[in-house]
């Protein structure tokens, strides 16, 4: 078997564009990344299965397994990246560039680069003792569309074919284990009024004015959930509600016939997505009583529930021991709540800083490479050998 060089793999992953976006003109297939991973996994003796997503043509998941039976360790990550603003990048997003002891590239830490760390660790184990000494199976999972719909992870959870005992999701945490995180809801609230000439306000129904009533209800809901729910594990210990985007009307001399508001909510463990959805509907119900069917509420994407793990799990304890860091709670979200449905102990832990995620000139600090490689190698050895 030919050697897989870390930087060669890293560079090849960066050079394979795999943007996922809600704007169709920016959205791409991830097949090139999947093909690279399939080739490298097969060279290490893994059995590889590639599946196209049921409702997303051109998007693929990869599951590569070494060993037989259930249990063992699954190392998971997503193959897509966010879009980029070319005017804000100093470097070519699709070329691994080195400068000032940093490696730059789109996906360098969020999170295609994680797969190069995993494969490098496996190759070192193979060189040291051989992968045939495996006592528990190793699975590499590469998913599609995490940055938009999380459709890849959702399909894996629904299929329920993978049965690892442990799962590490390699999102950038600076190799600090994360055992719990908030969820994410993006919701559109649309007010449909009745357009008309501004000279006769009573002849129409101004959607902007009705939206003002909606906003007042939402601000009350924001305070209610802040005061009712709290989990001190988090730096921001309560569920948040943000009014993120609003658009309504088309001209100053017309009664606004439609106004739409997009909000973001971040539930903590202990409050479910259906509960929050019910609270939203309950908040706007009096306005619909006053103006029948004027207010509609719908999700902008599949809601992501909060992820709740335990600091007492054997995987958390192992990760804390190897990293020298206490497990943390974070405010962003990952595929963890879906992959946890497979019945495995689950943590989020990977190379690179979350501060670089979704930023121009995304980079991996070179001094973090060796320590991260060693920790990932030790996690695999402790779980499977």
The helix/strand/coil state of 266 is strand
Question: Which token pair is 266?
Answer: 């971040």
DSSP code of residue 54: T
Q: Is 345 considered catalytic here?
A: no
Q: Is 86 considered catalytic here?
A: no
The helix/strand/coil state of 62 is strand
- The answer to whether the beta carbons of residues 107 and 141 sit under 8 Å apart is no
The helix/strand/coil state of 180 is strand
**Radius of gyration, alpha carbons of the chain:** 23
Angle at the Cα of 350 (from 244 to 327), degrees rounded to 5? 85
> Which pairs from 283-288 meet CB under 8 Å and 24+ separation?
283/217, 283/218, 283/220, 283/221, 284/189, 284/214, 284/217, 286/217, 287/210, 287/213, 287/214, 287/217
Question: b/e string for 355-374 if b means 16 or more Cβ within 10 A?
Answer: ebbebbbbbbbeebbeebbe
Of residues 8, 32, 70, 80, which has the active-site annotation? 80
Question: Which token pair is 116?
Answer: 């190069």
Angle at the Cα of 121 (from 176 to 92), degrees rounded to 5? 75
- The answer to whether the beta carbons of residues 138 and 66 sit under 8 Å apart is yes
Phi, psi of 261 (to 5 degrees): -120, 135
- The answer to whether the beta carbons of residues 240 and 215 sit under 8 Å apart is no
Of residues 146, 155, 171, 174, which has the active-site annotation? 146
- Provide the annotated active-site residues: 80, 146
């Amino acid at each position: 078997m030919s050697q897989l060089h870390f930087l060669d793999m890293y560079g090849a992953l960066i050079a394979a564009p795999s943007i996922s976006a809600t704007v169709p003109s920016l959205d791409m297939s991830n097949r090139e990344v999947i093909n690279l991973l399939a080739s490298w996994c097969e060279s290490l003796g893994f059995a590889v299965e590639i599946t196209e997503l049921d409702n997303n043509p051109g998007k693929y998941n990869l599951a590569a397994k070494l060993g037989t039976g259930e249990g063992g360790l699954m190392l998971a990550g997503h193959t897509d990246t966010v879009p980029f603003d070319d005017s804000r990048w100093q470097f070519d997003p699709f070329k691994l560039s080195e400068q000032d002891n940093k490696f730059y590239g789109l996906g360098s830490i969020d999170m295609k680069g994680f797969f190069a760390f995993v494969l490098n660790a496996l190759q070192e184990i193979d060189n040291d003792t051989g992968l045939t000494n495996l006592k528990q199976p190793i699975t590499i999972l590469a998913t599609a569309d995490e940055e938009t719909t999380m459709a890849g992870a959702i399909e894996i959870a629904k299929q329920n074919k993978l049965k690892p005992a442990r799962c590490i999701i390699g999102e950038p945490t600076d190799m600090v284990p994360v055992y719990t995180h908030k969820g994410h809801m993006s919701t559109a609230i649309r007010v449909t009024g009745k357009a008309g000439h501004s000279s006769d306000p009573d002849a129409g129904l101004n959607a902007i004015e009705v939206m003002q009533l909606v906003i007042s209800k939402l601000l009350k809901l924001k305070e209610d959930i802040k005061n009712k729910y709290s989990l001190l594990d988090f730096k921001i210990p309560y569920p948040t509600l943000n009014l993120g985007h609003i658009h309504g009307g088309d001209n100053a001399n017309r009664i606004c016939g439609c106004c739409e508001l997009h909000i973001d909510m971040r539930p903590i463990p202990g409050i479910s997505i259906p509960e929050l959805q019910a609270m939203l509907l309950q908040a706007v119900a009096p306005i619909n009583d006053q103006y029948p069917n004027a207010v509609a509420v719908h999700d902008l994407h599949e809601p992501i529930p909060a992820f709740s793990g335990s600091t007492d799990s054997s995987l958390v304890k192992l990760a804390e021991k190897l990293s020298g860091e206490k497990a943390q709670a974070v405010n962003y979200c990952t595929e963890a709540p879906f992959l946890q449905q497979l019945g495995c102990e689950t943590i989020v832990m990977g190379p690179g800083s979350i501060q670089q995620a979704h930023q121009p000139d995304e980079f991996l600090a070179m001094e973090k490479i060796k320590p991260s490689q060693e920790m990932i190698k030790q996690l695999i050895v402790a779980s499977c050998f």
